Structure 1
Amino acid sequence: MRLTSSKGTIVIEGEIPTPYGQWDSRIRAYRAPGYCYRDIIKYLKRSGIPFEDHVLNPPPSPPISGTIKLHPFQKEAFERWMENGGWGVLCIATAGGKTFIGLKAIEVLKQSALILVPTLALIDQWVERIKEKLCIEAGVLGGGKHDIKWVTVSTYDSAYIHAEEFSDKFGLLIADEVHHLFAPGYSQIAEMLVAPYRMGLTSTLHRADMRHLDAPRLIGGVVYEASHKQLAGTYLAPFEYKKVFVDLTPEEKAEYDKLWSTYKSYILKNNLQMRSEKDFQRLIMLSAFDPEAREAILARNRAIKIALNSEEKMRFLANMLKGSKEKTLIFTLHNSLVYAISKRFLIPAITYQTTESERRIVLSKFKTGEYRAIVTSQVLDEGIDVPDASRGIVLSGTGSPRQQIQRLGRLLRKSDGKVALLIEVVSRETKEAEISLRRHRKPDLKNSARER
């Protein structure tokens, strides 16, 4: 029996069928998805069937001279993953050093590796860490670059486009912010790659659409978990949480009530139930041919925007920043508010439109203390190393517990005597108050912080 790879599939030549392949009459051989490679090898060895393995075709291997040292909890996570056959997801709190566990896997296994990340900024971060800790140059796929090396860092977008091309190049898949891997389309990356070793990294695996349930098939289930609560005080800074309610101005309140009434009237008139994201998606579909549905959605969106961007939030922020020496990260949902705050308070902004060089300068000056505050939307939510900050102010966000946990993680770099403070500012008696409640359904955040 002979195994080869072909465009994201395993070709099995021989007379004996395996449970994983289907007969392809065009090539007169059995064919299986790339991700079945690991199980096919196990089956053939267990069955005592002799075979030739020509599946993996990695790029040239450079010498690795670095040594990765792990904290005890990181070492335990890595050992759990190895005990599971080099297969599975590590759910570790933001700022818990997940990157170093991934690098340890490369060092120990000596396997060519593809590292998936959601943003270009995270490509830069991984490339720097690989050079610093493993003393090798990583290839890059994304942002106009197409350089495949023994270790390659790629965005999910670029890997999705080129998965067929490099499906047989890597023995190890590391999916950073692995919850992205289960999105429609991106899951094909995992299906086409032959990588027999797979590591997922995230702070929380859960997705609202429940697609994370595909993890065992594509990359493995959760093999280790370490929450903020478990790591705070020893490896991460302890933290406190404070929720502050503010009122809309009379003008904002009148406009909010008018718009929300338009939305609710349509819902009641048509006997619609808005209990889940799927329910809202159905309303969006209705708006394609029902002008009243479209008007209702627009009214809802404008009402929520009033709540998220209320003037009283700006007054609260002004009071918090006045004379403060705390290093502060200010989080919003939309870029428009980022730029409004940046202009009003003369604070540097970081968004997806910020260039790499500008972002580096801003973060460097924040680290030295030249800048005491940064305002950002969602670009700093995932993975990017942010210099030591002790206070975060959330002016608006999604209903995702993951986003709240990630934002908290930006504050938890440990330093002597530091207690991080996350302040969430919410417009009272609005839809935003409900959104805020959804953010706190994750027990880790709710139970390990003090609401003041």
Structure 2
Amino acid sequence: MTTLSFEDGTLRVDDPPPDLDLPFLESDPRSGTARAPAFRYAALKDVLDSRDDAYDDRVGSWPSLSLSTTYELRAYQRDALDAWTAADRRGVIELPTGAGKTVVAIAAMVSTGVPTLVVVPTIDLLNQWRRELETEFDVEIGQFGGGEQRKELITVSTYDSAYLRADDVGGDFGLLVLDEVHHLGGEGYRDIARFLVAPARMGLTATFERPDGAHEVVEAVVGPRVFSLAVDDLAGDHLADYDIKRIEVSLSDEEREAYEAAQETFVQYLRTSNLDMRSGSDYQKLVMRSGNDPRAREALLAKQRARRVMMNADAKLSALESILARHRDDRVIVFTAYTDLVYRLSERFLLPAITNETGVAERCEILERFRDGTYSRVVTANVLDEGVDVPDANVAVVLSGSGSEREFTQRLGRILRPKADGGRALLYEVVTSETTEENVAERRRG
């Protein structure tokens, strides 16, 4: 009889029907079996069921979990869950930060009632998910990452730990939840979804599409985007109404001279290189050329110097000083692109600082004091863009950033949770005029 089992990140098929011809099923001469990628489990079962072939499924015999939730889904959360269920419990749900993607995933765990692996990108999110699941469910919650490697019927893992464990535990879970699923587009992380058999798969994100097109890989191993709402669809009802204000500042004479000199070096190289920086692939070509072409390296370094000058303009500090004075009674997050600027701002304005150099214990302490009101403002370089619960902030200041629409959406999402007083959220963009930062700001606004 045909037997299905999980082995080292693959589906092992013993005694397959001789006429079973599937593009993803390959013969394994060493074991005398056939093998398929683990994520093809649902597709293989569908084919075998359609043929009425008798087979012994030793993969999908997960224990049934009796779970319940105290959450009452909002209408759009119910619609998202229904859309995912109708798509054979596979696919990506795209909702703005603060719209309750976790709640939808918890409802999916209740409705499927099978062992679940939740994969997240950061330790902060790992801890948040574990606390939420321990509060919601009366079962032990396992953890891969953050110093623990303990598997339970419901387990939360970082992407890094899931990548290392997938070929070992890939047969143990019937539902895979991938938070911030756009991370799965990374070359190594893709194997997490490939090595797990989980027939039910849910991806969660605020911004699904990736500029490198890797979201197509996510669709192949998780499923297509089955539900999507934008910030403006929920603002006013389920998220705070918001305003975006752009403040333009000017370079000083000294900064302007440095900026123009660096830009000229960069532009001169482009004129003779047949490269167009509007193309991401051409930028990668420039980086590759810089390894053995001194002119390309000089151009790349000049581009970086120009960017640093415009992003860190002294006038931005004056603008921030005015904003902080205007919002003395508000909860403010300041975002920058550079760690050294974070420390300058922290020292000048006495702001608690969070960077990738901040230890976990210190970061948790700062965020906790921000939540309880001890701190009313914090400055960060990218660390709070995603995966951190900061529910009470109502003002964000983007002093510098990339042209990524995802980054902008996530920063806006930090301040969009509904306010107790019904107040509006406010995001400031501080942009250096007559520089390429104006184009950067336009790109990230979509």
User: TM-score with structure 2 length normalisation?
Assistant: 0.95
Cα 1:271–1:87 change in 2 (3 A) is: closer
Partner of 2:179: 176
Shift of the alpha carbon at 1:364?
2.6
Task: Please tell me the residue identity of whatever aligns with 1:350.
Answer: I
SS of 1:242's equivalent in the other structure is strand
Partner of 2:438: 433
Q: For 1:49 and 1:7, how far apart are their aligned partners in 2? A: 25
Q: For 2:275 and 2:16, how far apart are their aligned partners in 1? A: 58
SS of 2:97's equivalent in the other structure is coil
Partner of 2:230: 227
5 Å-filtered alignment, 1:49-198, equals 49-56=53-60, 64=67, 66-198=69-201
Partner of 1:260: 263
Partner of 2:39: 35
Structure 1 residues not aligned, in runs of 5+: 442-452
SS of 2:403's equivalent in the other structure is coil
Give a deviation string over 1:362-384, Cα, whole Å, max 9, x none: 22322333212111111111131
In the alignment, is the contact (CA less than 8 A) between 2:11 and 2:36 conserved in 1? yes
Shift of the alpha carbon at 1:399?
0.9
Shift of the alpha carbon at 1:294?
0.8
For these two proteins, the number of residue pairs brought into alignment is 440
Give a deviation string over 1:33-89, Cα, whole Å, max 9, x none: 00000111111111111110012476x777646443211211111111111111111
Partner of 1:411: 415
Shift of the alpha carbon at 1:213?
1.4
SS of 1:165's equivalent in the other structure is helix
Q: For 1:187 and 1:139, how far apart are their aligned partners in 2? A: 22
Q: For 2:339 and 2:49, how far apart are their aligned partners in 1? A: 55
5 Å-filtered alignment, 1:279-294, equals 279-294=282-297
Shift of the alpha carbon at 1:354?
2.4
Task: Please tell me the residue identity of whatever aligns with 2:173.
Answer: F
5 Å-filtered alignment, 1:202-241, equals 202-241=205-244
Cα 1:137–1:380 change in 2 (3 A) is: farther
In the alignment, is the contact (CA less than 8 A) between 2:144 and 2:150 conserved in 1? yes
Q: For 1:15 and 1:389, how far apart are their aligned partners in 2? A: 58
Moved more, 211-220 or 358-367: 358-367
Give a deviation string over 1:309-365, Cα, whole Å, max 9, x none: 110000000111126212111011122111111111001112223233322322232
Aligned-residue RMSD, C-alpha: 1.6
In the alignment, is the contact (CA less than 8 A) between 1:57 and 1:168 conserved in 2? no
SS of 1:322's equivalent in the other structure is helix
SS of 1:154's equivalent in the other structure is strand
Q: For 2:251 and 2:80, how far apart are their aligned partners in 1? A: 47
% same residue: 40
Shift of the alpha carbon at 1:273?
2.4
Partner of 1:330: 334
Q: For 1:414 and 1:363, how far apart are their aligned partners in 2? A: 19
Moved more, 427-436 or 304-313: 427-436
From 381, 385, 403, the counterpart of 1:381: 385
Q: For 1:216 and 1:425, how far apart are their aligned partners in 2? A: 36
Task: Please tell me the residue identity of whatever aligns with 2:394.
Answer: S
In the alignment, is the contact (CA less than 8 A) between 2:249 and 2:433 conserved in 1? yes
From 301, 305, 318, the counterpart of 1:302: 305
Shift of the alpha carbon at 1:239?
0.5
Moved more, 143-152 or 274-283: 143-152
Q: For 1:65 and 1:244, how far apart are their aligned partners in 2? A: 48
SS of 2:114's equivalent in the other structure is coil
Q: For 2:368 and 2:11, how far apart are their aligned partners in 1? A: 47
Task: Please tell me the residue identity of whatever aligns with 2:366.
Answer: V
From 347, 350, 359, the counterpart of 1:355: 359
SS of 2:136's equivalent in the other structure is helix
Q: For 1:85 and 1:61, how far apart are their aligned partners in 2? A: 18
In the alignment, is the contact (CA less than 8 A) between 1:89 and 1:219 conserved in 2? yes
In the alignment, is the contact (CA less than 8 A) between 1:68 and 1:107 conserved in 2? no
Q: For 1:104 and 1:145, how far apart are their aligned partners in 2? A: 26
SS of 1:293's equivalent in the other structure is helix
Report whether the alignment pairs 1:199 with 2:199: no
Shift of the alpha carbon at 1:279?
0.1
Moved more, 231-240 or 145-154: 145-154
Task: Please tell me the residue identity of whatever aligns with 1:110.
Answer: G
Task: Please tell me the residue identity of whatever aligns with 1:411.
Answer: I
User: TM-score with structure 1 length normalisation?
Assistant: 0.94
Q: For 1:381 and 1:423, how far apart are their aligned partners in 2? A: 15
SS of 1:201's equivalent in the other structure is strand
Give a deviation string over 1:200-228, Cα, whole Å, max 9, x none: 00011110100111233201101111211
Q: For 2:418 and 2:436, how far apart are their aligned partners in 1? A: 35
Shift of the alpha carbon at 1:135?
2.9
Q: For 2:60 and 2:150, how far apart are their aligned partners in 1? A: 18
Task: Please tell me the residue identity of whatever aligns with 1:12.
Answer: V
Moved more, 132-141 or 163-172: 132-141
Shift of the alpha carbon at 1:116?
1.1
Partner of 1:423: 428
Q: For 1:109 and 1:67, how far apart are their aligned partners in 2? A: 16
